[in-house]
Every structure is written in C-alpha cells, then in structure tokens.
Structure 1
Amino acid sequence: MRKVLEYIHVTYHYDSREERDDHVAMMESEGWECSGQIKETASVHTGEYVYCGKFVKYTSI
C-alpha cells in the first residue's frame, strides 16, 4: 500500500472582510486554493452570517 495523494481542507472565520481578504492573499501565496466563498451561515436559527475562508491544498507523495 502507498499513499499517492493527500488532501487538506481548512475553514477560517473572520471578524471583518478586510481580515479575510488579507488572510486569503497570504494563504494563496503559500500554495493554498481558496474556494471563493466569502460568507457562510453562523447560526441556522438566527440567520447570522460570518466572513469565512475555505482552503484546500493537495500534496503528491
């Protein structure tokens, strides 16, 4: 058996759009791919949204 691909997925929540945008730029400079999603529902019950960043990185072994 041998591993041929590793997939890492991370999600961040931010306090502001500016904080999100700065972090997205940093992550992309480190080789992460951003999904492009800007907000997600923080609470289904209240309908509140938070800024988010969803990133993936693939590593070949």
Structure 2
Amino acid sequence: MCHLCGEVIDREQTAPQPLAPTLDHVIPIARGGGHTMVNVRAAHFICNSSKSDRMEWSPAA
C-alpha cells in the first residue's frame, strides 16, 4: 500500500511508471531526515514525485 494515497502499489511496474513502487523518506533527506528504516515507507512513483521534499502531502495537493 502507498503510505501517501493508501492505494495498492503494483509491484510489477518499474519507475518511471506512475504506480511503480518507490521508497519515500517521511522526513525528506533535504529537510534533515535520515536514510533509515524508520524514515522510509513504500509509495507510488507518482505520489513520491509529487510530494517532493515537502513534510506533508495529500493526494488532492
């Protein structure tokens, strides 16, 4: 499940396909977050790209 939009992630797709799985840094590295297991969550490529380096995001944003 994409932690950003809550929809199922298609594990068969690869980036840059929109529904491909990626790892999102909950606290972006650019904002001081670490590349650690507690700071990453699964997300769609498109959701992760749209979130960019923002701390908060919603599908309607």
Greater RCO (CA < 8 Å, at least 6 residues apart): 1
Looking at CA atoms only, which structure, 1 or 2, has the larger radius of gyration? 1
Structure that is richer in strand per residue: 1
Q: Same fold (TM over 0.5)?
A: no
TM-score, scaled relative to structure 1: 0.29
* TM-score, length basis structure 2: 0.29
